Amino acid sequence: MEASLAFKKRVKIHIGEIYTSSEPTIIETLLGSCVSVCLYDPKKRSGGMNHILLPGKADLQRFDDATRYGINAMEILINSMMKLGSKRKNILSKIFGGAHILQSLGRHMAPGQKNIEFVEEFLDLEGIPVVSRNTGGHNGRKIYFHTHTGDVFLKTLPNKNFEAISREENQYSELVSYLLEKPTEVELFRRNR
C-alpha cells in the first residue's frame, strides 16, 4: 500500500516555478489561465511540474524571470527530469489549466487558450505523449501531482473562489508587459572614418 499522504514531502509551486523529484513528493499549484505540465517517468518513478504564465520565451535582455514563459519552463522541466536519470522516450505528460477567466477577451485571444496551444504543440514536437489533460473552461484548478505514481488529483474552483488567482495572473501579466515596453538604455557607437 502507498505511504500515507502525511509522510510524503509536499511542495507548493507558484508562477514561474519548477520542481522535480525522484523521491515520493506531492507537488501542488493553483491555476487560472496559467498552465502546468506534469512529467512522469514510470520506469524511474520520478516526476516534475512547472507553472507557465505565458507561451513563448522571455526577452532575457529586458526581463529575467524566464521560467514564467513556456519554452524556458518546458526545457528546464525536461532537462531536470533527465538529470534525475529519465530517458526522454520514457517520459509521459499531463496538462492542466488554461481557463478562460478574462471574459472580456475572445477565447482565441485569451491567455489560457494560447498557453494550452503552446504546450500541446511543444510536447508534440518533442515527442512526449500527453496521456491526460484537464484544460480550458472557466474555472480555476488546484492540482496535486504525485511524482512517484504520476497520479494527479484535481479540485475545480468555481469562479467566485478564484478571483485571487485571476488578480495574481493579471498583476504578473501587467508587470511583464510594463517591463517589456519600458525603454532600455541604448548605446550609440560612432564609426571612425
Closest to 95 (Cα-Cα) out of 124, 66, 67: 124
Q: How far apart are alpha carbons 186 and 193 in whole angstroms?
A: 22
Q: Is residue 173 a part of any domain in this protein?
A: yes
Q: Is residue 37 a part of any domain in this protein?
A: yes
Q: Report, in angstroms and rounded to the nearest whole number, the Rg of the chain calculated over CA atoms.
A: 18
Q: Is residue 59 a part of any domain in this protein?
A: yes
Of 94 and 176, the one with more pLDDT: 94
Mean pLDDT of 106-122: 83
Q: How many structural domains are present in the chain? A: 1
Mean pLDDT of 95-121: 81
Q: Is residue 190 a part of any domain in this protein?
A: no
Mean pLDDT of 28-49: 96
Residue 124, pLDDT score:
96
Residue 167 banded pLDDT, cuts 50, 70, 90? low
State pLDDT tens for residues 115-161: 999 999 999 999 999 999 999 988 899 999 999 999 999 999 876 64
Host domain of residue 174 = 5-181
Question: 99: which 3 cell numbers?
Answer: 481557463
Q: How far apart are alpha carbons 130 and 15 in whole angstroms?
A: 22
Residue 104, pLDDT score:
54
171 pLDDT higher than 70: yes
Q: Is residue 192 a part of any domain in this protein?
A: no
From start to end of the chain, where are the E strands? 9-12, 18-21, 25-31, 35-41, 46-50, 92-97, 130-135, 140-146, 152-157
Closest to 29 (Cα-Cα) out of 191, 128, 168: 168
pTM of the model: 0.75
The CATH number of residue 38's host domain is 3.30.1330.200
Q: Is residue 159 a part of any domain in this protein?
A: yes
Of 178 and 191, the one with more pLDDT: 178
Q: Is residue 158 a part of any domain in this protein?
A: yes
Q: How far apart are alpha carbons 37 and 119 in whole angstroms?
A: 8
107 pLDDT higher than 60: no
Residue 1, pLDDT score:
42
Mean pLDDT of 13-21: 94
92 pLDDT higher than 90: yes
Q: Is residue 193 a part of any domain in this protein?
A: no
- The phi-psi region of residue 98 (left if phi > 0; otherwise alpha if psi is between -120 and 50; otherwise beta) is left
The most confident of the ranges 52-61, 77-86, 106-115, 152-161 is 77-86
Contacts of 174 (CB under 8 A, 6+ apart): none
Q: How far apart are alpha carbons 70 and 73 in whole angstroms?
A: 5
Question: 190: which 3 cell numbers?
Answer: 560612432
